[in-house]
Structure 1
Amino acid sequence: MELTRAAIHSFANSCSKLKPEIKGTAYKSLEKTLQFKPNEFMDTSKFIYRLATILSVNTTAFIIPIYSEDYETIKGYYPILPQRTEVVEAQGEPWLRYTFANGNKAAIELSRVGILTQYQYKDDFFGDGNGALMPTLNLLDIQKQGIEEGIKQSAMIRFMAKLGTNTRSEDITKERNRFAAENLSADNVSGMMMFDTKYSEVKQIDSKPFIVDADQMKLIQNNVFNYFGTNEKILQNSYNENEWNAFYEGKIEPFALQLSLVMSNMTFTPNELSYGNQIFFTSNRMQYASNTTKLQVSTQLFDRGILSTNQVMDVWNMAHVEDGDKRYIRKEYAEVNKLHDEGGDNNADSEKKGISEPNDTSAAGTAETNI
């Protein structure tokens, strides 16, 4: 159904903008691979989009690590469809056996695999599927068929004619075709319909367009929106910043959090995790804010040394600049890590002197300038 596909697409499309980053020294060299091309066939956007789509459709998505020749060093990641996988046991350990599109099979220890799930309840590894949505999908299908049939029927019959005598069925067909050709075709330029006494009655049928009950249609659509955690404005890209923030908090952020945990656990050892190594996915949520909000955030946080120049450029979706990672604070203005070198202590002393000795005009002038 186009409605369910649109709901899944808007979610996956928003997730595809997430940026993977690696914290810590272990596997830091893998960060660029994650940010540009996690595997031979997908860039990062397609990789995340497909994971989000598989998760929404199947409520389970697998991530397979791609190893170097030593079978220890990870050099990439690949998403696997759950329909092509099965969990088997070998020597007391669970393995994931999967089939590629070309029919080739492979297997890997389940402990090395990343597993994303939704609606996980009965199974230890898989989500419970989207069976709860099937009644709504059936209603959507029946509704669509009803619209199609209603349009066909309302557009098909225009006139009804009653013959005054008993006639064989094949003769009725011939007479209908003759009557339509002489009276209802484009050749009848006069616009007048004429018939002889063999017809006892001819009447025009007032055709009315088929209209589906709007309230019923809205109810069914809302069932889909509720199930996928979205709404009409998100699907049509007509949301404002508050509506986007609500969608992000309820839908995008939980996916980003689960993906971060899954990929961190499958990439790093427990010891590496204990030292703060992790993979996390970030999003510049300010891209969806109004220009007024962007301006307020940019000026207020930049002045206080919270945002660097390049981070402000990110807010406005502009290219980074040279030395843009430096932070500044009102002085007016000084680089944060050079406050002491540029006379921060001396300025503070001048302020004190100007306040305690008001007759000293030079000191008072310094304090006023600093303020």
Structure 2
Amino acid sequence: MKNISIFNRFKKPVPNPQTMERAELISGNNSFSPWSGDAYSLDIYRGGVDAIARNCGKLKGSHVISYADHKKVEGDCRINQLLQVSPNPYMTAYDFLYKMVTHYYLYNNAFAYLQKDDRGQLLGVYPMGANHVDFMTDPTGEMYCKFLFNNGKDVILPYADIIHLRRNFNQNDLLGDPNTAIMDTLELAHAQSEGMVTSIQSSANIRGIMKHTGILSDEKLKESRKTFMENYLQMSNNGGVVMVDDKIEYTPINQAPVNIDTDQIQAIKTKVYNYLGISESIVNSSYNEDQFSAFYESTLEPIALQLSLEFTRKVFNDREQTFGNSICFESGRLIFSSNATKVNMIKELVPLGLLSINQALEILNLPSIPDGDKRLQTLNMVDADKANQYQLNEKESIKP
């Protein structure tokens, strides 16, 4: 069987690396390495990141063409298929967004490569989980990224073909700052978890001290201990009585149970969740409509906006953008609303002609119907221009 490497898909003519040099940035740093802190191994941090990534995975990317009259139409179905179903042969659109958002919160930088043909048409999108990234420029000043991967291979790709999402974008000109601000809290969470395990284990290890009045060898001591435990410290000793002679002294140790400081655990959770911009109700899926709405507006929507802007400027050139081509990532927020909210919205908007029949059915998670794209409107509503004309005709009719 022929060995097909994913790196073959990234091969693209680039200038000779010998002619390139490190990009000169105002901040002075021109490379990226993932944060060394293993935050993802902590259940609190992983649970928070997973909650955000799961919900971001539901975002729907679409190619949209906007016209001067504010009319928007669906664009290239091939691009929509890549964004909504399968961005590359190895993952679904949900997997792609989940991975990108996970990198976004673990490293505050997430990279993806836009594979294009010779005409600049989009062929695929691949997340880039690299060990190290160097920013370089060629003699013309165009910027490139040199990705170094776990297997030791590297690839140089134009930055114009790289989707780059940044979080905590402050000190560096190109990169988001690392997660050092939460490092102390994560270390405290790890120490707390380790301390609880150690305390529980130690409380179960030693339950008493057995002392021999005579002098015995180490081998005899181990044998005596084993015999004592088999005779008296087993579940079969229903009487609960230990009989010893004057050669042995046994002193039981009554250890207090380990008390878990729930307030401290909750305080650490709150600090981590605040850093990620979520609440505990989002993590354990106990949120109500208002809580999810706040989560969408404060966390999901900014990520959707970043994705929309970055994909738009990297997928389409300036001329294509001028003609209204854009990529939009959005989510059906109403699917998380209560049925009462959905019904009230339909009751208010349908009479105004703002929703079609199929749009109303979609809000209720119901299938569309034939000829359902028509809009209904109550007769109590009238065009403002016609209303003015009607009033003028009325005035003319009542003149003496």
TM (norm. structure 2) is 0.78
Matched residues in 2 for 1:301 and 1:148: separation? 57
Secondary structure, counterpart of 2:96 in structure 1: helix
Larger displacement relative to structure 2 (208-217 or 182-191):
182-191
Residue aligning to 1:237: 285
Q: What amino acid maps onto 2:281 in structure 1?
A: K
Could you say which structure has the greater relative contact order, defined with CA pairs below 8 angstroms and 6 or more residues apart? Answer: 2
SS in 1 for 2:58: coil
Paired residues of 1:89 and 1:95 also in contact (CA < 8 A): yes
Structure 1 alignment gaps of length 5 or more: 340-344, 358-371
Distance 2:154 2:211 in 1: 69
* Aligned counterpart for 1:12 among listed residues 49, 53, 69: 53
Cα RMSD of the aligned pairs, angstroms, is 2.8
Among candidates 43, 46, 49, match of residue 92 of structure 2: 43
1:54 paired residue number: 103
Residues 91-142 of structure 1, C-alpha deviations (whole Å, 9 max, x = no match):
2322112256665543222123221100122222211111222211111111
Q: SS at the partner of 1:108? A: strand
* 1:1-371 matches, cutoff 5 A: 1-24=42-65, 28-29=76-77, 30-68=79-117, 70=118, 72-91=120-139, 92-99=141-148, 104-200=153-249, 202-331=250-379
Are the aligned partners of 2:131 and 2:148 in contact in 1 as well (CA < 8 Å)? no
CA distance in 1 between counterparts of 2:150 and 2:368 reads: 41
Partners of 1:26 and 1:277 within 8 A in 2: no
2-structure distance, mates of 1:306, 1:203:
82
Q: Secondary structure at 1:106's aligned position in 2?
A: strand
Contact 1:268–1:278 (Cα < 8 Å) also in 2: yes
In 2, Cα distance between equivalents of 1:239 and 1:186 = 46
User: Which structure's CA Rg is the greater one?
Assistant: 1
Distance 2:209 2:99 in 1: 55
CA offset digits 1:235-279 (Å, max 9, x no partner): 000000000011111100000001100000001122222232211
Contact 1:303 1:328 in 2 (8 A): yes
How has the CA–CA distance of structure 1 residues 172 and 136 changed in structure 2, closer, same or farther, with 3 Å as cutoff?
A: same
Q: How many residues align?
A: 343
Counterpart residue type for residue 114 of structure 1: I
Asked whether the equivalents of residues 284 and 314 of structure 1 are also in contact (C-alpha less than 8 Å), the reply is: no
In structure 2, distance between residues paired with 1:101 and 1:182: 56
Is the contact between residue 115 and residue 125 of structure 1 (CA under 8 Å) also seen in structure 2? no
Taking the aligned partners of 2:120 and 2:334, their CA distance within structure 1 comes to 39
Which deviates more from structure 2 when the two are superposed, residues 109-118 or residues 164-173? Answer: 164-173
Q: CA deviation at 1:26?
A: 10
Structure 2: give runs of 5+ residues left out of the alignment.
1-41, 66-72
* Contact 2:115-2:161 at 8 Å conserved across structures: no
Q: Given the superposition, is the C-alpha separation of residues 99 and 41 from structure 1 closer, same or farther in structure 2, using an over 3 Å criterion?
A: farther
- Identity rate of aligned residues, in percent? 31
**The residue matched to 1:328 in structure 2 has which SS?**
coil
Q: Contact 1:63–1:77 (CA<8 Å) still a contact in 2?
A: yes
Q: Is the contact between residue 67 and residue 73 of structure 1 (CA under 8 Å) also seen in structure 2?
A: yes
Counterpart AA for 2:231: E
In the TM superposition, residue 195 of structure 1 has moved relative to its aligned partner by 0.9
* CA–CA distance in structure 1, aligned partners of residues 355 and 256 of structure 2: 62
